[in-house]
Amino acid sequence: MREVEYESLGVPLADYQLTRNDHQQQEQAEDIARWVKKVLAEKEAEERADPVLAEGRRRASKRALDMLLKHKTPEHEIMRWRVRLYCGHIVETQRHRENGKPTLHGSSSERCPECGREPSVIVAFEPIGLAGGLSTVSRTGPTVAPKKLTRAQLERRVAALEKENQRLRDSGHTG
């Protein structure tokens, strides 16, 4: 597993003020959501007109969903994040631990569990910690431990953590 430096943005989250860029990103996310709904409506109309097509798509979707559900990412590979959404709510979310921030790879918005707004762009965030410890027991098998790091990797990690600690001390962040 590669070494990752986790970023924070807009901390403390409760004091974050929306920026012009936040409004633009929210508008873009809403435009994309409208486009996706339009395309889905077109596909559903095609399927209503062609039951054979509908059944083929249903089977393909079921196969894809089954494959996704069979692979559960171990908890020690999941980073928990506290995020402030465009709607103003602060919620917890999760991403793979190799992502240095929760807005990478097309996951910059989500449905707000508080008010239901969808999409609601992530405007500020801070890492909380890994979902699991150094090792975790999976539901289907034995204990899974991450591979051991080399001394050089551990030293780089210690240096990065010391740098982050100093940055937090300099910014006056205590919690």
- Mean pLDDT for the chain? 86
Radius of gyration of the chain (CA): 21
145 pLDDT above the threshold of 50: no
Q: Which residue has the tokens 């409506």?
A: 41
Q: Hey, where are the domains in the chain?
A: 13-132
Find the largest Cα–Cα distance for the chain.
Answer: 64
What are the tens digits of pLDDT across the range 79-131? Answer: 999 999 999 999 999 999 999 999 998 899 999 999 999 999 999 999 999 99
**Residue-level pLDDT at 147:** 54
Q: What pTM, to 2 d.p., does this model score?
A: 0.69
Tokens of 172: 């006056």
Per-residue burial over 44-63, b if 16 or more Cβ lie within 10 Å, else e, is eeebeeeeeeeeeeeeeeee
**Residue-level pLDDT at 132:** 78
Question: Residue 112 — φ and ψ, nearest 5°?
Answer: -75, 125
Nearest C-alpha neighbor of 104 from the set 87, 88, 127, 132:
127
Q: Is 102 exposed, middle or buried (0-12, 13-18, 19+ CB in 10 A)?
A: buried
DSSP 131: S
* Terminal CA-CA length for the chain: 28
142 pLDDT tier (thresholds 50, 70, 90): very low
Task: Specify which residues 95 forms β-bridges with.
Answer: 79
